[in-house]
Amino acid sequence: MYEQIREDIFFILFYGIVTAMAMMASCYLLFRQGNAFAADITSPVRLRRWTAAFFAAFALSHMWYMPIFFLTSSEDIEMADLIGGVLDSLTVFPLLIIVLFVMLQDHRRPLWPVGVMMLPLLLGNTINAVTRSYALLPMLYAYFLLMSIGLTIYMVRALRQYGRWLRDNYADLEHKEVWQSFVVLAIILLVFAFYAFIYQGPAYRYGMQLVSAVLIGYLLWRVETLGSLTSAPSPPLRGGGGEAVGPLLQKYCIDTGLYLQHDLTLLQLAKAVGTNRFYLSQYFSSLGTNYNAYINDLRIRHFVRLYREAVAVKQPFTAQQLAAESGFHHYRTFSNAFKHQTGQTVTSWIKAQQGRGEP
């Protein structure tokens, strides 16, 4: 296998390019002040640093496997490969799991369980390296598979919790949701796992480097486009307990049109209303809804009013324009919320209104 790699100059060049990509991505996240992908988004500093660490480890991992391509002694090749497995268990794998944890910003999850999860892999690979044997490799593959299944179950639960937290605290979810990222990363990791268990020649070598390049690009884009979500202490009560929240919302949110503000958070609304975030959240729960659904309902009602006013005076308009004036930063978000509330698409609803001859 390695004899073929030594003769494949194009693969060695591709391998070096991927290594350079990872190192440049790490330096970019550590040292660039602005955001090249989305200038209006401030990405989480903690996530940037951990992802930069992962990229650096990924580049180093490529470097410490590189001598294998040029060694001629089978014993030296085996030893370099075994040492690479130890170093990967110590750096690349745990750092990738940490990046997944840090993407969830509802609270700071402890990172020590990652070390506990990786300890058997580290010990097994270390024993293999010391004994210069692959005897424990089948057991390590089995453990890695079980660990991946357990991690997947944990992340699914954590993502559901994170989604509820977002809807309880944010009116606009653009640049905040991460479940799509987890799906994409899970697919990439499955490809890596398939490569680890079933190696079938040159096509897989090139394929894995291509997957590595996609992983680097995707993670870099995800970090840059994920908005930083910070929390702050709730303000003191203005109107007392939860029983006063309804009138306060009418006075300071609905009457003032505050709900039209882009990226309005539960904390900002609590400050404007002069109540406590806890009471505000409990109030929405008592209505059988959440903060995101409450704000979207107000905005959709505003859209309907604007539509009827425009039709009444025969003023030209577009649904996109009215959605933006109703507080929706992205039309897709409005379209999804509108269909969820009315059971119809925006286009179908407008056609139905026109068919009934109603403004």
Cα dihedral sign for 296, 45, 211, 144? Answer: negative
Is there a contact between 338 and 328 (Cβ–Cβ < 8 Å)?
Answer: no
Please tell me the number of Cα atoms within 13 Å of 246 on its side-chain side: 4
pLDDT, residue 198, reads 60
What does the mean pLDDT of the chain come to?
A: 87
**Residue 263's pLDDT band (cuts 50, 70, 90):** confident
**pLDDT tens-digit series, residues 185-199:** 888 777 766 665 665
pLDDT confidence of residue 231: 56
Q: Has residue 35 got a pLDDT over 70?
A: yes
How would residue 266 be classed by pLDDT, with cut points 50, 70 and 90? very high
The pLDDT, as a whole number, for residue 183 is 86
Name, in order, each residue with C-beta under 8 angstroms of 130's C-beta and a sequence gap of 6 or more.
none
Identify the pLDDT of residue 358.
Answer: 56
Q: Could you tell me the pLDDT band of residue 41, with boundaries at 50, 70 and 90?
A: confident
Placement of tokens 């999850």 in the chain: 109
* Predicted pLDDT at 355: 73
Predicted confidence at residue 269, as pLDDT, reads 93
How do residues 106-125 score in pLDDT, each as one tens digit?
989 999 999 999 999 999 99
What is residue 200's predicted lDDT score, i.e. its pLDDT? 58
3-class secondary structure per residue, the chain: CHHHHHHCHHHHHHHHHHHHHHHHHHHHHHHCCCCCCCCCCCCCHHHHHHHHHHHHHHHHHHHHHHHHHCCCCHHHHHHHHHHHHHHHHHCHHHHHHHHHHHHCCCCCCCCHHHHHHHHHHHHHHHHHHHHCCCCCHHHHHHHHHHHHHHHHHHHHHHHHHHHHHHHHHECCCCCCCCHHHHHHHHHHHHHHHHHHHCCCCHHHHHHHHHHHHHHHHHHHHHHHHCCCCCCCCCCCCCCCCHHHHHHHHHHHHHCCCHHHCCCCEHHHHHHHHCCCHHHHHHHHHHCCCCHHHHHHHHHHHHHHHHHHHHHHCCCCCCHHHHHHHCCCCCHHHHHHHHHHHHCCCHHHHHHHHHHHCCC
Percent of the chain clearing pLDDT 90 (strictly above) = 52
- Range scoring the smallest mean pLDDT among 7-16, 51-60, 146-155: 7-16
Would you place residue 7 in the very low, low, confident or very high pLDDT band (cuts 50, 70, 90)? Answer: confident
Taking phi first (over 0 means left), then psi (-120 to 50 degrees means alpha), and beta for anything else, what does residue 274 get?
A: left
Residue 329: predicted pLDDT:
87
Q: What is the mean pLDDT of residues 289-311?
A: 94
pLDDT tens digits, 219-262? 999 999 898 886 555 555 554 454 578 889 999 999 999 999 98
- Per-residue pLDDT, averaged over 155-182, amounts to 90
Question: In this predicted structure, what is the pLDDT of residue 242?
Answer: 47
